[in-house]
Chain A
Amino acid sequence: MKFLLRRSIFYVITAWAAVTINFIIPRLLPGDPVAAIIAKNQGKIPAEAAESLRILFGLDDSLSLWDQYVQYWKLLFQGDLGLSFTFFPTPVADVVAQGLPWTIGLVGISTIIAFTIGTLVGTAIGWRRGTWADSLLPITTFFSTVPYFWLGLIVVAIFSVNLGWFPSSGSYDRGLVPAFDWPFISSVIYYGTLPALTIVLSSISGWILGMRNMMVTVSSEDYVTVAHAKGLSARAVMFGYAARNAVLPQISSFALSLGFIVGGTLIMEMIFSYQGIGYTLYQAVSTHDYPLMQGCFLVITLSVLAANIIADFVYAVLDPRTRQEG
């Protein structure tokens, strides 16, 4: 349990750091774009909301930095992230809350699919090393080096513009009313296929390469030789001994690169105008909606943290050494 305790402390610190970064950035950067916007919208913004924005962006020079910081935390605990300018006068928290499920659904599911398939393929390639399977590596490498969004463009060009199989943007048929019924769900799946495919295509290669390398490394461990010496079936040795151990660093690597992957996949949402956090962030950036930008960043970071905690938990379940008492 010591492992989980240590990790929990780390996550608390990281969450605090993320909030603090969010607090510092607007205060550190030159200029006060938000002040200008508030001034421009004089009268339209309710007094209370304007006050929130002032706290969030440090416009009150009368307060000490510490007081600003305390007030900032108070606002956060109330779930107040300010008002969005783009979706005026919707609060940022609401805009973000609308996008989050879509992102978690799309990015979460496709990342898990990519991780699972990639790890399996990597297992096979690493196991059969020195055979034809190695020739898959150059292709894999290519896919791991192209930017996510470019692959998205290509996929849209092929499957949507040329073949017309899938819609090129949106997240469900606008003619439908969101409900928990089959027409709506199938529409969500239909619209989500292309973005998901792109995310899988572009992130899978990293998992394949990583798992392959770990398999090669683990396969020469003594316990794998012992497993062979025991006359276990090829499958038992491959999965129970080699892959079972190789997947551990793969999972910690998953936790580490989540931030990176999520960053890349958010851009996918922009390509497909998929109504998640990434697309919201994109809209916020292009309309200079600073409160929304900040809110998106905070929520993205906290989600990644949550995913990290899950990955850590899985790791602890899979590796008995982390469960050691004391």
Chain B
Amino acid sequence: MTSTDTAGAGAPAPAGALVADPVLDIRGLSVDYGFDANPTHVLRDVSLSLGRGEVLGLAGESGCGKSTLAYAATRLLPPPGLITGGEVWFTGRDGRREDVLAMTDARLRQSRWQDTAIVFQGAMNSLNPVFRVGRQIVDGIFAHRPKWSKAQATERAAELFEMVGIAPDRLRSYPHQLSGGMRQRVMIAMALALEPQVLIMDEPTTALDVVMQRQIVEQIAELRDRLGFSVIFITHDVSLLIEIADRIAIMYAGEIVEQGPAQELYRRPRHPYTKGLLSSFPPLRGPKTELAGIPGAPPDLSNPPAGCRFAARCPHALGRCQAVEPELGPTAVPGDATARRVACHLHDGAQPVPLELALTR
């Protein structure tokens, strides 16, 4: 059984089985909330690789830890977040490999935005209200390109604005003078300022209307093709993902329960949770309510159940699901791509996989 979490301490392991040339390789990442005696273990042993030039979609119900994963991998998680284990290997274009979690502050500062840039969930508060948006792009550039002239940096900012479809004279606007969609584009422009190799986008379109969502997603796809960066795209909306993502990972209650090529995962889900998630598109706007397709609610992470965390809501739960936690492994459906992984006892080969989770065509 091949496993992605070869937690070889420190030594960069050869490229994992799933991705040939990973630019970002998250291994066994564990995150707690709370500095006190009994913290909430929000992420447990999460492994995920992002290939060079790839768009990886990350989906899951609200509260399953998608943002936590993204912030922990960049060490931006606010207190009381605490990373309790794991590695995040970043591989540069020149083949340089570094563990983000082991970097010094100075090195981390240097690496941020150059290597990995983030577009945050909710762009409404992501811009400093007292500075012009142009200045906020330029100061990020200067932090990494101190030798650039002011004119050069401003020119770059104008170029970025044009790239995301905003008139460059908007550089002199304050955030409150921009609409929500514009602010979101400003954030994207800002993230692309230094041509980072990894772009993490945390629900970049949730606050926008459908038309705007499509526009922005298309724009990201187009920019990716042009500039060749890799993207981790986080969203609730799986239907949005299949348009843009090459690969999709599904999270549930702080764990990755399934991953695979986008189209395959979308057409032929192997995990009962994925199945449920796909059959119930959450509303694009409005409150994040419990998904109609899956009865029940996700477990309380401060007191997670034993065994498989999805067992209580699973229509196919077996006896051992309540007791033994499944591990991410290959599917038990013959003919599946080798890049597919699922964490479910139904796929351990001891019993036939239920028909709806074993579609082959």
Contact = CB atoms under 8 A, between A and B. Distances in A.
Contacts of A228: 76, 112
Interface of A: 130, 220-223, 225-233, 236, 240-241, 244-245, 248, 318-321, 324
Given A230-B113, A233-B109, A236-B139, A225 B120 contact: yes
B126 A223 contact: yes
Contacts of B132: 320
Contact of A230 (B129, B139, B177): B139
Nearest to B115: A231
B131 interface: yes
B174 A231 contact: no
B78 A220 contact: yes
Contacts of B76: 225, 228-229
14 contacts: A130-B79, A223-B129, A225-B78, A229-B112, A229-B117, A230-B143, A231-B109, A231-B110, A231-B111, A231-B112, A231-B114, A231-B140, A231-B143, A245-B130
Contacts of A324: 176-177
Interface residues of B, number: 32
Contacts of A220: 78
Interface in B116-149: 117-118, 120, 122, 125-132, 139-140, 143-144
Contacts of A248: 130
Given A232-B140, A232-B143, A245 B117 contact: no
B140 A230 contact: yes
Given A231-B110, A244-B131, A319-B129, 4 more contacts: A230-B143, A231-B108, A231-B114, A320-B174
B74 interface: yes
Given A228-B76, A229-B76, A229-B117, A321 B112 contact: no
A321 B132 CA distance: 11
Given A225-B76, A229-B118, A231-B109, A240 B139 contact: yes
A235 to B, nearest CB: 11
A245 B128 contact: yes
Contacts of B109: 231-233
Given A231-B111, A232-B139, A222 B120 contact: yes
Contacts of B144: 231
B143 A236 contact: yes
B186 to A, nearest CB: 11
